[in-house]
Homo-oligomer: A and B are copies of this chain.
């Protein structure tokens, strides 16, 4: 039976794949759009490449360090909350029990069952706190070193993604020519990336391909026309 086989495979994709997706998604899009935008406004590939490299460095550090600090904040936050919950079940156990009963009341559980449930849960303080963390606060235990690994994966994916649109400007004589190859190469890369990204998370791969390429095309097109406008002022 299809439902039984699919069961609980609700949302797949490891955290590392998520980080690659986060980094590469922006890495393929923003440096592409920036260099496309500049190539309509400046006369030399050298400037396009310099700006592209500066953008890749800026973007990868901002995203990587941003990812690191977000991960570290989530980690610190979890353990701060954990400490507080341990303190609360120690100091105000009746109020904590009442909070669980309030949650259960929303689902139509009888007074008798709620009482039995809470009393049994409260017999083991660790399990009680784990229950509060997950079901009251919706927090999962973060993995150690996650923040640092996450930062490096996001930054590396951004750099790899960002080099795709840039390479065309190395092998061409002027920005106009570079742009043509860059658009072709990057749109193919965006389609492929969107396809496999959605495949990895169990969504329709063709929708992913179209959406990802669409974002890149819109961003690059808008940057191109507005940079042309600005450079003409």
Q: Which residues of A contact B (CB under 8 A)?
A: 1, 3-4, 6-8, 10-11, 25-26, 29-30, 32-34, 37-38, 41-42, 46-47, 49-51, 53-55, 57-59, 61-63, 65-66, 69, 73, 77, 81, 84, 87-88, 91-92, 95, 99, 106-110, 112-113, 116-117, 120-121, 123-124, 127-128, 130-131, 135, 137-138, 140, 203, 211, 214-216, 218-220, 222-224, 226-227, 230-231
Contact = CB atoms under 8 A, between A and B. Distances in A.
Which DSSP category, helix, strand, loop or mixed, fits chain A's interface?
A: helix
Contact of A130 (B32, B107, B138): B107
Of listed A54, A65, A224, residue having the most chain B CB within 10 A:
A54
Given A34-B51, A120-B110, A124-B108, A57 B226 contact: yes
A121 B135 contact: no
8 contacts: A3-B88, A30-B59, A34-B55, A42-B47, A66-B215, A107-B130, A108-B120, A135-B135
B53 A51 contact: no
A222 B61 contact: yes
Contacts of A34: 34, 51, 54-55, 58
Contacts of A32: 58
A154 to B, nearest CB: 12
A222 to B, nearest CB: 5
Nearest to A198: B73
A7 B230 CA distance: 52
Contact of A42 (B50, B88, B130, B203): B50
A102 B156 CA distance: 40
